[in-house]
Every structure is written in C-alpha cells, then in structure tokens.
Amino acid sequence: MSEMPNPPKMVAVLAGKGGVGKTSLAIGLAAMLGRDQSVALVDADHQGTATRWLRRSSMSAACFRVAADPDPRGATIAAVRDALKACHLIIADGPPGSAEIIRTLAALADLVLVPTGPSTEEVYLARRVLEVVAEESEVRRSPIPTLIVPTRWDSRTTLAREALELLGTLGSPVAAPIHNRVAWQEAISAGVWLDAVGGGGAAEAEAEAVATHVREALNLSAT
C-alpha cells in the first residue's frame, strides 16, 4: 500500500473573542493550502460563517460542522475524526469564548494560530489562548506549536506598534501582520477568494505569508 504524501494534520485557529478575523484567517488558509493539499474545514463557530462561505464558493473543500450538543468536547472530537477520514489537512475554525471547545481543538491540533487585533484586551485574550495551549501541551507531554497572527492591523498607529511589541513578549512566534483591508470583507461576503476582488493582491500576499509559515511548521509538501 502506498503511503500518503503527508500524514493527516490539523491547524486550529483559536481566539478568545469574535471580531479578530478568525474565520477570515481559517477560510484564507483553506483557500491557499487547498491549492496543493486536500483540505477540509471544521466549523466549530456557532455562527457558521465558514460553512456558508464554502457553500457559496467554488472551493472543493469539505466542511464539517461541530454539532450543538450537551457534550461539546465529544461533538468536537467527532467532527475532527470525520474530517480526518476525508482529507490530509484540517483547518478548524474555533468558536469565540467557548472554553471547552477551544481547549479540545488545542489538544487535537498540530499547530495553533492565534489571531489578535491591536487592542490591549485582544492581546490579553491571545495570551489566555496561549496559556490554554500550554496547559494542553503539558497534558499531551509534547509541545503544541503556536503562531500569533496580528489581524486588522494598521501599522501606522502607535497602538499597533505598541501591541506588536507586547505580542513579542508572549513566548510565541509572531507572523507578519494582516492589515485591515476592504478586500477581506468583500471576498468573504461574496464567497470568493481574494484574487477575485479588486485590490486583493496585497491581502493575498499577506495570507500567503501565513500559509507559508503553516507549510513549513507542518512540513507540508505538494501532493
């Protein structure tokens, strides 16, 4: 029996609150990495934005919703298990503020991305997500790699510059910022990728930089 080019891997995109570009980042990764991997989205966000986007888009990625259930941990594990049967690479869009599902996805992940905006509260919540990942690393007895992804960024502001310095003290690698560009909103609303909207080139380049980090962190190769 021939071996798969890559063993199955999962990237969890986790944030302590909504509005930080979490789902946009998850969708962007699925679009970029889906060019050379079979990719599935696990939609654990009760708003279901990723699921609706995939239904409107031309992407072939499968989507697995985490069902509303009295046992959120069990429902999350079931969705991830089903996704891993279908694809080599899973991108999980975690829910904002649901501690049990965030913890479960962190425990299952090969890499955790933590998107955060430039406010003090958002940086604090990013720190809390990193603490959860560290706790799950202790339980698993192996480190779970993380990457902080600054989102909705405006590097011209003092607030953003100070926040970037603070993020550098959290003990996790920090990606180059994803700036607050209209192209993201237009693409997500239309169910298309950034290359299909006007002015999407700069946004796509920033998304590709994060996707490159994911490929390197997980040792992914084209299929």
In tens, the pLDDT along 45-84 reads 988 888 888 888 877 778 999 988 889 999 999 999 999 9
Computed from CA positions of residues 12, 15, 16, 17, in that sequence, does the dihedral angle turn out positive or negative? Answer: negative
Residue 1, domain member (yes or no):
no
For residue 51, which of 15, 16, 74, 79 has the smallest C-alpha distance?
A: 79
Kindly report the average pLDDT of the chain as a whole number.
89
d(CA 179, CA 117): 10
| pLDDT computed for residue 97 by the predictor | 73
Looking at residue 135, its amino acid is: E
- At residue 26, φ and ψ (nearest 5 deg) are -60, -45
pLDDT value for 1: 33
Task: Give percent of the chain above pLDDT 70.
Answer: 96
Residue 220 has pLDDT above 90, yes or no: no
Q: pLDDT per residue over 91-114, tens digit each? A: 999 998 778 999 999 999 999 999
Whether residue 3 is predicted with pLDDT greater than 50 in this model: the reply is no
Statement: the pTM of the whole predicted model exceeds 0.75: yes
Q: Is residue 2 part of a domain?
A: no
Q: Is residue 147 part of a domain?
A: yes
Question: Is residue 166 assigned to a domain?
Answer: yes
Give how far Cα 189 sits from Cα of 73, 84, 103, 159, 197, Å.
30, 28, 29, 28, 11
pLDDT at residue 5 in the model? 54
Domain assignment present for residue 4? The answer is no
Pairing verdict, β 39-43 and 89-93: parallel
Residue 68 is part of which domain span?
9-216
What count of residues does the chain have? 223
Residue 144 in domain: yes
Decide if pLDDT at 223 tops 90: no
pLDDT at 49: 87
At 222 the pLDDT is 52
**Which CATH number belongs to the domain containing residue 49 in this structure?**
3.40.50.300
148 found inside a domain = yes
pLDDT, residue 198, reads: 73
Number of domains making up the chain: 1
Confirm whether 222 is domain-assigned.
Answer: no
